[in-house]
Amino acid sequence: MTRHADAAARAAIVRVCRRLWERGLIAGPDGNVSVRVGADRLLVTPAGASKVDVREADLVEVDLEGRRVGGTRDATSELAMHLAIYAARPDVQAIVHAHPPTATGFAVAGETLPDGVLPELVCQMGAVALVPYFTPGTPAAASALAPYLSAHDAFLLANHGATTVGATLEAAHRRMESLEHGARILLAARLVGRVTPLTDEQRAALQAPARAGGAHTTAAAAAAAAAAAAPVGTVAGSTAAPMAAPTAPPRDGGEAG
């Protein structure tokens, strides 16, 4: 990575950290952010730092084994989660982990967000996985996430928080903001009365661009395409999670507006 590209990645991480704090998606030392900066290098936020105070010089460069190769601080304590995602998803270039209050409330209640309700969620991330609890900052993250990584781009972590991924840091961050905003809307709908899902026809119309072969097919889109090609009564892939079939977004972070 060139010096200019490295500086741009550092500035982007610091900007996202501040945006997460400004939007109330993290508090104090909550959350962590990482970006691929080479074939075998990651740039990650430091351990124990309030994200609103993180500076470019505080960021830590690590290899794909988690060894520090640049910077003076320790990497985020949740580095194992980031490493597990990057190892399983070569298409992922950035990861955002936060504790968005409403979305995390769903996770604490043992629920994911209902699929196929809000066009914004359908288009930006598809179905949101609910990952069973694992002790934060431990290698258990890899085995807990493994069944869900191939078919999802957004994850609620039981009793913990949320993680979103993307082909860019912008996409991963946008998904985190949309995840929390969608959770607030869905909670409000429950309080008002009930959640009304989109019809099959309405969902199909949203998924049509993905089936047409958009340039940035996401994990959810690929999983939906595989499921559609599988014989009736079977599940495509041997590691399918015990979740509803994911909704395919048309492109990475798609939908205008």
Task: Give the mean model confidence (pLDDT) for residues 10-33.
Answer: 97
For residue 182, pLDDT over 80 is answered with: yes
CA pair distance 241, 188, nearest whole angstrom: 28
Distance CA 222, CA 47 (A): 34
Q: What is the pLDDT of residue 57?
A: 97
pLDDT at 1: 65
Helix 219-229 vs helix 200-211: crossing angle, to nearest 10: 110
Q: Are 164 and 156 spatial neighbours (Cβ–Cβ below 8 Å)?
A: no
- Confidence bin at 221 (pLDDT 50/70/90): low
The CA distance from 116 to 193, in Å, is 18
pLDDT, tens digit, for every residue of 88-109? 999 999 999 999 999 999 999 9
Residue type, 184: R
| pLDDT, mean over the chain | 85
* 34 closest CA partner among 2, 63, 72: 63
Tell me the backbone φ, ψ of residue 154, rounded to 5 degrees. Answer: -140, 140
Asked whether residue 55 carries a pLDDT value surpassing 50, the answer given is yes
Q: What is the pTM of this model?
A: 0.83
| Confidence check: pLDDT of 232 > 60 | no
Could you tell me the domains of the chain? 3-192 (3.40.225.10)
Distance CA 17, CA 20 (A): 5
